[in-house]
Chains A and B, each alone.
Chain A
Amino acid sequence: MDRIAFVTVVFLGLIVSLNGSLSAAQAAARKGYRPRLGALLGAATGLPVTVLAALVLGTLFPGQPILSVIGAFAAGMAALGALRRALPDRAAGQDALPNGEALQRTIAARHLQGAVLRSLFFLSVVLAIAMLAILMWTVIDKTFGLTAVQYTVQPEDLVVNGEPVNRPLDELTGTELQEILADNARVARLRVFVLEHVTRAAEADWPALSGEPVSRVLKGHEYPAELAGVAFNALDEAQVASLLALNLDRDSLQELVFDEIIQPQVVDSWPLWESLTRRDAIAGFVAAEYPKAEVRWRSWVSWEFLTSPLDPRKPDDTGLRPALIGSLLVIAITIAVAFPVGVGAAIYLEEYAGDTRLNQVIQTNISNLAGVPSIIYGILGLAIFVRGLEAITSGQAFGASTANGRTVLSAGFTLALLILPLIIINAQEAIRAVPASLRQASYGLGATQWQTIWHHVLPYALPGILTGTILAISRAIGETAPLILVGGATYLTRDPEGPFSIFTALPLIIYRWTTLPQDEFRNAAAAAIVVLLALLLTLNSVAIILRNRFSRRLS
């Protein structure tokens, strides 16, 4: 018998033992023994018989593990039945209902049953909390910890006119910084700095731009008149550095030198637990492996992380601003669509719709839709919103210039569709829980149906509706599969700006980062998970505060 089958048998045997201890305790009490004796006997029979039966069956029918497992379980249960029956009855001839000592015994047996189950339920809670704690720890462990940081160029190695610079960056003048740039970076990189930091041209346009004259490339920016006609890719280091110095102030130049020339880089990282417990070993390792590197604490979640753009090459430098903005925009559209539509549908179904066959079919379908896998909604969203309604979701109908329907709007609509059944069902429950007396009181005063719904049913149901909405939004914000299908990007150079932008979202970024080769992206992913959880908790607490405010107003 293989190992998996054996583990299964042992697990089943434990269940049989548990069952045996509970049922045998009752049987023992009925037959005039102490219930504890029965419980012990039952427990001692269940597991051994089951395992034994499995071993026997395994030898008789080799290569049939499923048969052995099922047979062993049946044998264990049968042995318990036999045990209960075989126990000689000491209480024969007594009254139909127990009295005196017999009553005490059955009461003890019934309490025992309750106590065993109670501790099992308690164990379930402990298990659940332990799982949650492990999850949280795994995330936290990756989010904070020691890193080995190393400069690509050591500050003391910087040269100006062949001379080393022996002063801190802060003390250098703009001209010196310009010279450092000219002397320490290759011309191609300097040209990229101009395109990135001065003209801010889209990356896709760089190849086309580089052949153009300076007057075109730097149109609207400063440049020396004598360079106007020179092709951009024909400039030398000093000339490009002068362009940078003309257009950027001193602090920006210093930042450029620090980020691009000195370039601190995380070359290795350790999780929180190791960082705390093996600090010396890590320091020793870094001294041996990366003699120029420094060991530093790092929190992978930071203000910079929240506010910087994505960088698919440098895990220690990347931010997730586009994903954060994308998630917020998508969820805003989801709420804006799903909440009114869902509550409206619930009001119609509960208050207006008659009890017709058609409405029953609709009701059943809504309940079933709540259980449809999210990827199916992704396909639906792709078909309807991305393809079918492309003119609207791409914004072309409103004069926006997005090329296709893979936009924030499509994603928001798709997630709205996904959580609509949840919101409808919860809102229906909440509306159904409004006491009939409240409705009658309103009707009795001559209120119309709508007045009754608006003044009494909805305010009373609102806390329940909000609770359902919280749950639904929590689900929507973590959804990944439908967003992949409706074309969410995993890398964006720009922030999503509105409903018609292409988008990315936190779960997509987390998914992407866990698949990238650099180890440090796992840290970034953990940090992104922390951000996602924080966002979730923030949204939830807003909803909970709203709910409590409405509940308090009612009582």
Chain B
Amino acid sequence: MTEGTTNGRYAIETRDLHFYYDTFLAIRDINMRFERNQITALIGPSGCGKSTLLRSLNRMNELVPGTRIDGEVLFHGQNLYDPAVDPVEVRRRIGMVFQRPNPFPKSIYDNVAYGPRILGQRNKAVLDEIVERSLRQAALWDEVKDDLKKSGLALSGGQQQRLCIARALAVEPEIILMDEPCSALDPIATLRIEDLMRELKADYTIVIVTHNMQQAARVSDFTAFMLLDEHRAGELIEYDRTERIFNRPADRRTEDYITGRFG
């Protein structure tokens, strides 16, 4: 993917994005631009298509058979769904952190080194350096530096999730997609991840799906509110700076949702 026409302000952009599971329309007509080096939160009630939208940004949705997309996702001016684009490359540039921590059943070191290794990096010194840098970036280094051979599954839930973040960082993506990354964690581990996200923002663009509105308010710069329409397709209701969404929402439904009147 070459440097494209999208100017430096936006990291990724969707145009008239529709997403189908077989014939069922799951999200409809999403037009969004995600600002570079900012955290954008996607909020909305369960099943409104937040995760579907998030996963369509790095083509993870394609792993489910029978899915189809209309519209474009532009990354450096290139449509990610262009037949010439390989999803393998997309996912290396746009990393992902999942709802439940899912470290590989391997050592901490091998978890982080996996991404660089599959890209062909075999040099031990280089791998060591990448592993240390990624673990430091994920604020995990000090806790595990003496135990890199330990299984990733032996860590606590919060540590596992930071390991997954370190693993994603190791392939040097530009964008990190986070799908409810704290929903399986306790409040303290959640706060650590949120701190981490604020630190990572300097180098990465982050898009996060969350059910926790306080989290969206605490951590994000922009917030998008999604809702199901009358055909049960998710649509974008409102997208603005976070303080605006939470203080002076333009749409009545947004206000109802964030004040807890439904959802």
- Measuring CB to CB, which residues of chain A are less than 8 angstroms from any residue of chain B? 354-355, 435, 437-448, 451, 455-456, 459-460, 553-555
Contact = CB atoms under 8 A, between A and B. Distances in A.
Contacts of A553: 105
B92 A445 contact: yes
Nearest to A456: B104
Contacts of B118: 445-448, 451, 455
Nearest to A439: B63
B28 interface: no
Interface in B20-61: 58, 60
Interface residues of B, number: 28
Interface string B81-113: 000000011111101101010111100000000
A555 B153 contact: yes
Given A451-B118, A456-B104, A555-B105, A441 B171 contact: no
B188 interface: no
Nearest to A554: B105
Given A438-B104, A455-B114, A448 B65 contact: no
A446 B171 contact: yes
Contacts of B92: 445-446
Contacts of A446: 88-93, 115, 118-119, 171
A349 to B, nearest CB: 14
Given A445-B171, A446-B119, A437 B60 contact: no
B190 interface: no
B151 interface: yes
A460 B100 CA distance: 18
Nearest to B90: A446
A440 B114 contact: no
B162 interface: no
Contacts of B88: 446-448
Contacts of A440: 60, 63, 96, 98, 102
Contacts of A448: 88, 118
A310 B90 CA distance: 67
B12 interface: no
B167 interface: yes
Given A354-B65, A451-B118, A555-B151, A445 B105 contact: no
4 tightest Cβ-Cβ pairs between the two chains A and B? A446-B92, A444-B96, A437-B102, A445-B115
- Most B C-beta atoms less than 10 A away, residue of A354, A438, A442, A446: A446
A443 B171 contact: no
Nearest to A444: B96
B171 to A, nearest CB: 6
8 contacts: A439-B63, A440-B60, A440-B98, A440-B102, A444-B96, A444-B98, A445-B171, A446-B89
A357 to B, nearest CB: 15
Nearest to A452: B118
Contacts of A451: 118
A459 B105 CA distance: 10
Contacts of A437: 98, 100, 102
Given A439-B63, A441-B164, A447-B88, 18 more contacts: A437-B102, A438-B104, A440-B98, A441-B98, A441-B102, A441-B103, A444-B96, A444-B98, A445-B95, A445-B114, A445-B115, A445-B118, A447-B114, A455-B114, A456-B104, A460-B105, A553-B105, A555-B153
B226 interface: no
A286 to B, nearest CB: 65
A354 B119 CA distance: 27
Interface string B160-184: 0000100110010000000000000
Contact of B102 (A354, A438, A447, A455): A438
Nearest to A355: B65
Contacts of A456: 104
Which of B65, B105, B164 is the most central at the interface, judged by chain A CB atoms within 10 Å of its CB?
A: B105
A442 B104 CA distance: 8
A104 to B, nearest CB: 43
Contacts of B58: 444
Contacts of B100: 437
A382 to B, nearest CB: 41
Given A460-B105, A555-B151, A443 B91 contact: yes
Nearest to B64: A436
A442 to B, nearest CB: 8
B208 to A, nearest CB: 15
A439 B96 CA distance: 13
Contact of A443 (B60, B89, B167, B168): B60
Contacts of A355: 65
Nearest to A441: B102
A435 B101 CA distance: 12
Contacts of B60: 440, 443-444
A555 B98 CA distance: 20
B151 to A, nearest CB: 7
A144 B96 CA distance: 67
A445 B168 contact: yes
A91 B159 CA distance: 61
A445 B89 CA distance: 9
A555 B151 CA distance: 7
Contacts of A354: 65
A445 to B, nearest CB: 4
Interface in B103-143: 103-105, 114-115, 118-119
A460 B118 CA distance: 18
Nearest to B110: A455
Contacts of A443: 60, 63, 91
A444 B87 CA distance: 10
Given A437-B98, A455-B114, A455-B118, A444 B105 contact: no
Contacts of A438: 102, 104-105
**Residue with the greatest number of chain A CB neighbours at <10 A, chosen from B118, B151, B171:** B118
Nearest to B154: A555
A445 B91 contact: yes
Contacts of B171: 445-446
B148 to A, nearest CB: 17
Nearest to A446: B92
A460 B102 CA distance: 14
B113 to A, nearest CB: 11
A439 B102 CA distance: 10
B68 to A, nearest CB: 15
Interface string B186-208: 00000000000000000000000
B106 to A, nearest CB: 9
A355 B100 CA distance: 28
Nearest to B63: A443
B81 to A, nearest CB: 16
A166 B54 CA distance: 101
A448 B167 CA distance: 16
Contacts of B93: 446
A336 B226 CA distance: 56
A344 B60 CA distance: 25
A459 B104 CA distance: 11
